[in-house]
Structure formats: C-alpha cells, structure tokens
Amino acid sequence: MAQTAFKSCEICDGGLGHHYCQQCDQFFCKNCKTSHLRTKISKIHTFFIGRNTNQEEQQFCAEHEESFIFYCVDCDTVVCKICAVTRHNRHDMSEINESVLKLKVQLKKYAESKVKGLRKDIEKLDEETIEYQSEVRSVIQSIIEDSERMNGLIDRKTDELIKYVKEVEERNLKILSTANSKFSYNLHKVNRVQRTIKDSAYMSDVALLPKLQQLQAEIYRIEPTRTPGIPTVRYSTKKISHSDTGKLFGNLSFRSDILVFMIIIQPVNTEQKT
C-alpha cells in the first residue's frame, strides 16, 4: 500500500493535511474540510483520512467507516450506503460490482475494436511502405539508365570527334607530303647543277657549254613553289558546372502525406442515463 508523509493543508497552509479530497485532489486540515463540505458546489465531495491517498486502495468511507458498495454515476465516485442516502440521494446509482463488470465488458469491446483497427492500419502502412520502397528503387534505376544512356551518347560523340580529327589529319598530311616531295625533287635538280658546276674544272669549254645551257633551261623551268600553310587544330574545353549536369536529367517529384497523429482513448462511461 502506498504511503506518504502527512502534508500541510493546501488551503490555509496552517494545519496538517490529514484529509484528502478525492474530487479536488487536495489535502485539507479538519477546519478547511468542514468549510469545504459546507460549500454548495463541494458539499458532496468525498474525503479520505490518513496517509494513504490512493483511491484505488481505499475500501472504506473515511467519514462513516462503511464499505463502498455503490457507484454514483452523476458524481463519478464510489460511496457507502450512508453517503448514498445523505449526499447522493436521487443520483444515478449502481452497485460497484455491476459497474465494474459493465466497465470490463465495455473496455474489452473497445480494446478489441482498437486492436482490430490498429492492426489494419499497420498492415496498410506496411503495404504502402513496401510500395514506396519499390518506387524508390524504380526511380534510382531510371536515374542509372539515364546516366548510362548519356554516357553512351558522350562516348559516341567522343568517338565521332576523334575520328573527324584523324580524318582531317590524314588529308592535311597528304598535302604536306606532296609539297615535301615537290620540294625534294626541285632540290635534287638544283643539287645536280651545283655538282656539274663543281666538276666543270675538268671539262673542256666545248663540252661544258651545251651542258650548262641544258642545266640552265632546267633551272628556269623550276617554278617557285609556295610553302603550304601549316594546318592547326585546337580544342576549346567547355566549362560545365554541377548545375549544368542537372539539366541533362529528368525531374524528380516528391509527395508526402505523412501526418503526425496521437491516439487519444476517450474514457467510457460505466452508466448511461435514461
């Protein structure tokens, strides 16, 4: 049985609070209790005496030392047979055991109904959670597929650019090679003239004259060749920010109907007035 030390009167703060008002949940001294019971609004209040203020463990009326045998529906309190006549006359009354039995039945039905409803809610929530997780996996897979598709397009464009650069390189190298061959051929002709002039010291003028005339004609036929413009190639890197990459993907959309709620169990009346 729960025990607590005597408290001071919560009304006058003078005497010891021996008397506990069940309805007000306060401790009264003897004088304040008497005044409290004379007040019209609180004249039917029930007091417990002593240190034990646990209503559920009180078996006797502290005022009349009688067992609690009735339950007053109007006042929502247990009363003895004397209180039933003096303070609760004409109130809606029932025997305690009947009220307890009726309350048990009502609570059992109410609890069973709540359990059934909560199990349904849990089952529905589990199903919707699984469905939501499936949606998340589907969205992630779509993002991965989008990324792979774009990577494929990037790889394809990369190959096209590299191929085009190599094709242009091949054409330009052919032009440069042709120019190089022409330069080399003309150089060969000029070198031959230089060798003939060098060797002319050992030839007679009669033999050298026609030879020089021939070489002169060949040199004059060599047309000036312009050096071809050397091709160039550049690649300007495009600066792409993280936000730019987001424009390549689709749009994400979220919807949430999650509500924070509390289950409030309302008290069930043990008696219904007719």
98 belongs to a structural domain: no
Chain length of the chain: 274
Cβ atoms of 249 and 146 closer than 8 Å = yes
pLDDT tens per residue, range 181-228: 888 888 888 888 888 777 777 777 787 788 788 888 877 777 777 777
118 and 221: one domain? yes
Is the per-residue pLDDT at 106 higher than 90?
no
pLDDT > 90 in the chain, percent: 27
CA distance 267 to 223: 116
Helix (H, G, I), strand (E, B) or coil at 85: helix
Confidence band for 89, pLDDT divided at 50, 70 and 90: confident
72 belongs to a structural domain: no
Alpha-carbon torsion (25, 83, 267, 109), positive or negative: positive
87 belongs to a structural domain: no
- How many structural domains compose the chain? 2
CA distance 71 to 269: 12
216 and 109: one domain? yes
Domain boundary among 187, 209, 227: 227
221 and 112: one domain? yes
Domain boundary among 19, 38, 66: 66
Is the per-residue pLDDT at 115 higher than 90?
yes
- CATH number, domain of 22, equals 4.10.640.40
79 belongs to a structural domain: no
154 and 51: one domain? no
84 belongs to a structural domain: no
117 and 192: one domain? yes
| CA distance to 56, 185, 205, per residue, from 209 (Å) | 147, 24, 6
Domain boundary among 66, 94, 114: 66
121 and 39: one domain? no
60 and 136: one domain? no
29 and 139: one domain? no
| CA distance to 196, 198, 203, 219, per residue, from 206 (Å) | 15, 17, 8, 21
71 belongs to a structural domain: no
CA distance 86 to 63: 12
207 and 109: one domain? yes
Q: What is the pLDDT of residue 132?
A: 92
Domain that includes residue 11, residue range? 7-66
109 and 223: one domain? yes
Cβ atoms of 72 and 92 closer than 8 Å = yes
Better pLDDT: 68 or 62: 68
248 belongs to a structural domain: no
